[in-house]
Amino acid sequence: MFPLRVVQVGLSMSGVRIILVDTSHPGNIGAAARAMKTMGLTDLSLVTPHAFPSAQATARATGADDVLDAARVFPSLSEAIAECNLVIGSSARARHIDWPQMTVREAGNLAAHRATHASVAFVFGRERTGLTNAELDHCHCLAYIPTHSGYHSLNLAAAVQVVAYEVHMANQTLCEASTLASVQIPAPAIEMDRLYEHLEQTLTEVDFLNPAHPRLLMRRLRRLFNRAQPDAVEVNILRGILTAVQRSKRC
Ligand code: SAH
């Protein structure tokens, strides 16, 4: 009943997508493409870049023009991650609400395992201000690059390089081990978004959620479901329950 599959892991890196959000400097986009290519990553997505395509990006890509040419531009983060099963935010900062956090090494391992049978995204924020809390809400977990104390902020392309390196090294290890693994595929982000909308609507209808102050509750519920990482069948069951609750409330 559940989509458990036995797969050969550690063979392909095509399942890892790098997403840059609202990048100001096109040079950083080019440098990120170069960083990706050196580590075997080719799937680059850009959310509302300030300037792209750009001669500066191409100049900084030096030899990774193919990655830039294939880059896709999206109007929002939710559209960029729509088919992704695992979304990892790259962030130096700990926030007041604690998202699950791991080192970039742990995240690289997780991504390399998952990428063999599912789509994994690493999301990078703006040069000046990083990712907003609303953007972090879309992430299952956060990856941080451990730094020397007191100064945590890497240049955007340098952060992409470190993440890509860790994914590459983890993938190499998997290739060498050529492990067989049994895995459960989490539902894609677009289905999770529909679940959250349905949940919010239902909780409002049964007066559990006050629409005047909805944000914290929904954020906490997102975190709960992101930890559980339900698969498509489980999401359908949850939505079926919500529909049944709505039906009984309405009649
Ligand atoms: N002043 C910003 C820094 C943004 S740097 C802030 O504090 O968030 C641009 C992006 O590079 C960040 O959004 C993040 O995705 C990535 N980045 C920079 N340093 C990082 C670190 N130590 N760990 C993980 N990601 C980092």
pLDDT of 182 strictly over 70: no
Percent of the chain with pLDDT over 90: 77
pLDDT tens digits along 50-98:
999 999 999 999 999 999 999 999 999 999 999 999 999 999 966 565 7
Spatial neighbors of 231 by CB under 8 A, at least 6 apart, are 2, 3, 184, 185, 186, 187
Please, which residues bridge with residue 17 across strands? 43, 121
Domain for residue 131, yes or no? yes
Residue 241 CB neighbours (<10 A): 13
pLDDT at 12: 58
User: Is the whole model's pTM more than 0.85, yes or no?
Assistant: no
Domain for residue 39, yes or no? yes
pLDDT tens digits along 217-235:
999 999 999 899 999 999 9
> Do 151 and 197 fall into the same domain?
no
Domain with residue 141: its CATH number is 3.40.1280.10
CB 200 within 8 A of CB 111: no
CB 56 within 8 A of CB 27: yes
pLDDT of 10 strictly over 70: no
In this predicted model, which residue has the larger pLDDT, 22 or 219? 22
- Of residues 218, 229, 230, 228, the one with CA closest to residue 97: 218
The Cα–Cα gap between 168 and 10 comes to 10
Domain for residue 82, yes or no? yes
**Domain tally for the chain?**
2
Residue among 131, 153, 166 whose CB has most ligand 1 atoms within 8 A, to mutate: 153
> Do 193 and 137 fall into the same domain?
no
Asked if residue 19 has its Cβ within 6 Å of ligand 1, the reply is no
Distance 194 CA to ligand 1 centre (A): 29
Domain for residue 215, yes or no? yes
> Do 197 and 162 fall into the same domain?
no
- Of residues 74, 71, 69, 85, the one with CA closest to residue 22: 74
> Do 58 and 141 fall into the same domain?
yes
pLDDT of 141 strictly over 90: yes
> Do 240 and 123 fall into the same domain?
no
Domain for residue 8, yes or no? no
> Do 208 and 164 fall into the same domain?
no
Asked if residue 93 has its Cβ within 6 Å of ligand 1, the reply is yes
Domain stop point among 152, 176, 200: 176
Residue 42 CB neighbours (<10 A): 17
Distance 195 CA to ligand 1 centre (A): 30
pLDDT at 13: 78
b/e sequence 190-229, b meaning 16+ C-beta within 10 Å: ebbeebeebbbebbeeeeebeeeeeeeebbebbbebbeeb
Domain for residue 77, yes or no? yes
Domain for residue 107, yes or no? yes
What is the CA 245 to chain-centroid distance, rounded?
31
Atom of ligand 1 nearest to the CA of 153: 19
Asked if residue 30 has its Cβ within 6 Å of ligand 1, the reply is no
Domain for residue 212, yes or no? yes
pLDDT at 3: 45
For residue 134, the enclosing domain spans 16-176
Averaged over 23-47, what is the pLDDT?
97
